[in-house]
A and B are shown apart, each in its own frame.
Chain A
Amino acid sequence: MKAEKLKGHLDLLLLSVLARGPGHGYEVITRLRDSSEGAFELPEGTVYPALHRLDEAGLLASTWAVVNGRRRRVYQVTTAGQEALAQQADQWRTFSGSMSRVIGGAAGLVARPAAALAGDPA
């Protein structure tokens, strides 16, 4: 999926990934890639401004820790972040459901002429 399409939903994705447990930036990217089965490929650096923004907004809290011999900033979702995640997830489900219904109906209409061209003599 194109990175530009993902950027609009990055906050929701990051909150979702970190809701499973605290993690540093590289871990967030790894979880995002793994849980999307490789569909979400975006420049990895993109997550940092978003993580910092969420941190400043109080939706994430960060601490420094040494992990695997390297000093890393570990993020976790705050209570405010959990509330924001629930709210954004609801909005996304509503949006996604509506999109699916619209696209689903249109996809049927688009498929019919193609089938007609393929073999319908009428």
Chain B
Amino acid sequence: MSGRGEVDVSPGSGPDDPIEEYLDRLLVTLNGSPRQVRHTMAEVEAHLRDAVAEEIASGRPEAQAEAAAVQRIGPVHEVTGVTPAFARPTAALGRRVALAGGLVGGIGLVTVGISGLIAWLLVAVKGDRFLAAPWGPGSYTAADCARWMAADPGHGCIAAMLNDHVGDILSRGAAAGVLGVLVLAGYLVLRRRWRDRGTMTALPAGSAEALGAFLALLATLGAAATAVDLESAQRGAGAGQPFSLAAAAFLATVFFTLRLLRAARRAPS
């Protein structure tokens, strides 16, 4: 084995330690299984410490020796064997954004589905008019009325229209909910597959949760304001739809906020 490197070089911990900084960059760039990543990290760290010891033994101060060791080993992509254009940060960022989109999009769709469920309960308690408000007399054409009444025989134009609209709202909610569950299932599968450190650190911890919480809060406030407006302007007619959306969006806000807090607690200070 090599006789070089007799100087004892202990790992540094300062924020500007070039060896530590290099190893950090390597860690988030390496491809492979956790074991392969650990092995390469151990090899490269031993290499860098040896190089520092050799530089110090040749008379360089420690800071210069560390900088020289990093320069000698070359850019991180030399160690990973992947050219920078295809290096993991780019792919990892794509994967992380896809995961964030899957989580936020999936929860968003499920939220619409839950709002449909709430709307269905509201219809059962308060009737169709709470969910879909009819316009004033003369607002609907004879053709529209004929179409609605054909699909709902035995009811007048307004009642048939309300049934049709409520059915549309509930079926859209159900479809969104099912789609959301599928998106979330895909998200969970991909998250299991892409749990490497490079992907997980490509965006700051809690990014998806922060975005989700912001969008859900926006939806909650917007829908609640619309529901209050309809409640006061139309005596509640049609307020059920924004109200159910506000309630579901509020649940999503709570969900994302709790996840965001958990991510913040886990993140290193």
Contact = CB atoms under 8 A, between A and B. Distances in A.
Contacts of A112: none
7 contacts: A24-B2, A26-B4, A27-B1, A44-B74, A48-B43, A71-B42, A73-B39
B42 A49 contact: no
Contacts of B2: 23-24, 26-27, 30, 68
Nearest to A43: B74
A43 B43 CA distance: 15
A84 B42 CA distance: 28
Interface residues of B, number: 26
A67 B1 contact: yes
Contacts of B226: none
A43 B81 CA distance: 12
B78 A43 contact: yes
Given A29-B47, A44-B72, 17 more contacts: A23-B1, A23-B2, A24-B46, A27-B2, A42-B74, A44-B51, A44-B74, A46-B74, A46-B78, A52-B40, A52-B81, A68-B1, A68-B50, A70-B50, A72-B42, A72-B43, A72-B46
A71 B44 CA distance: 11
Nearest to A49: B81
Interface in A42-81: 42-46, 48-50, 52-53, 67-73
Contacts of B36: 52
B39 A26 contact: no
Contacts of B5: 26, 68
Contacts of A29: 47
B49 A43 contact: no
B47 A26 contact: yes
B225 interface: no
Contacts of B78: 43, 45-46, 49
Contacts of A49: 78-81
A49 B83 CA distance: 12
Given A73-B39, A73-B42, A48 B79 contact: yes
A34 B16 CA distance: 32
A42 to B, nearest CB: 8
B46 A43 contact: no
B45 to A, nearest CB: 8
Most chain A Cβ neighbours within 10 Å, of B50, B51, B75: B50
Interface string B71-94: 011111011110000000000000
B46 to A, nearest CB: 5
Interface string A15-44: 000000001111101100000000000111
A43 B73 contact: yes
A49 B46 CA distance: 16
Contacts of A72: 42-43, 46
Given A49-B80, A70-B46, A44 B73 contact: yes
Contacts of B43: 24-25, 48, 72-73
Among B43, B51, B79, max chain A CB count under 10 A is at B43
A91 B217 CA distance: 69
B72 A43 contact: yes
A26 B49 CA distance: 10
